[in-house]
Structures are given as structure tokens and as C-alpha cells.
Amino acid sequence: MEINPMVLHLLAVLVLGLKCGSELNVGVFAHPTLKQQSRETHIPVRAAFAKLFGRVMPFWMAGSTLLNLLILLPFEHLNTTAWRFAAFAFAIQVFAVVFSLVFPVPINNRIIRWTLASLPPDWEAQEHRWDAYHWLRTSGLVVAFATLTLSLTVC
């Protein structure tokens, strides 16, 4: 069974777009709302979200990046401009995966273990660092999404 390259392209845009929406939700709504809660609410919820996203995001990020790669391989369906846009989006996604593994993931793995009784003294600084890394990664992924979408419009 042969997959239509346009369907694959649309799927890559859709998956990356949904991932960007999820990332924006965390940065714009979830974490700012959590910061307004009491420590008794904030810490267990933040740890639970860290655990959930720590399980889901590796598959989502890898899947999205793989879909982008798959549209680059049979490049005869893309003109040069579309291929370059898709390749740029792919490069950003690869960078986002590597960046995530080096910077926010280690912090996320510590947050998963937080309880009110075991909260480290610098927990707020760690959260702030994670949030800053998250915004940097999310900004890159939004650029990748825009560029991948642009590649779809010019192919």
C-alpha cells in the first residue's frame, strides 16, 4: 500500500501543530495557573504533569520529527522551495529533541520525584529554569510548524 505524499505532509503538519498547541498550553495556561496555587496543590500537580508529559512527549516529539523526515525522503513530490522549508522545519525539530534531552528533561526527571516532604531548597529556581527552557523549545517548534506549513503551501 502506497501512502500519498500529500496525506503524509498533512499528517506531519497536523501532528506538529497539535504538539505546538500542547506546548503553548503548558507555558501560557497550565504553569502560570499552577504558580498561583498553594504549595500543597502546586507541587503534587506539577509532579504529576511532569510524569505524564515525561511519558508522552518522547513519543510525540520523535513521531513528529519522523513524520517530517518521511516527507523529505521521497522528495520528488516537493519542489526545491518546499523541500528546503520542510528540511528547515526538520532541523529545528531535531534541535528541539536534542535540546530537550540536555536541558529540560533532567529537570523534569527531578520534578517527577518532588513531594512536599522532599522539596529541594532551590525548587523555584529549577521550575523557573525548566519554564525558560520550555519557552525556548516551544518558540522553536512554533517556527518549525510555521515553516512546515509553509512548505505545504508551496509544494
The answer to whether 154 touches 135, Cβ cutoff 8 Å, is: no
What does residue 54 show for φ and ψ, rounded to 5 degrees? -65, -25
Q: What's this model's pTM, rounded to 2 decimal places?
A: 0.95
The answer to whether 2 and 134 have CB atoms below 8 angstroms apart is no
In whole angstroms, what is the distance from residue 53 CA to residue 35 CA? 18
The string of DSSP codes covering 7-27 is HHHHHHHHHHHHHHHHHHHII
Q: pLDDT tens across 98-129, in order?
A: 999 999 999 999 999 999 999 999 999 999 99
| For residue 33, pLDDT beyond 70 | yes
30-46 average pLDDT score? 97
Residue with cell 496555587: 37
The DSSP result for 78-90, as a single string, is S-HHHHHHHHHHH
The four Cα atoms 52, 36, 139, 106 give a dihedral, to 10 degrees, of -50
Among 91, 103, 68, 92, CA closest to 142? 92
Residues 52-105: pLDDT tens digits? Answer: 999 999 999 999 999 999 999 876 788 999 999 999 999 999 999 999 999 999
The predicted model gives 20-31 an average pLDDT of 97
> Among residues 60, 20, 11, 4, which one has the least CA distance to residue 141?
20
User: What is the band of 155 on the pLDDT scale with cuts at 50, 70, 90?
Assistant: confident
Cell of 68: 517530517
Q: How confident is the model at residue 147 (pLDDT cuts 50, 70, 90)?
A: very high
* Cβ-based neighbour number of residue 16 at 10 Å: 28
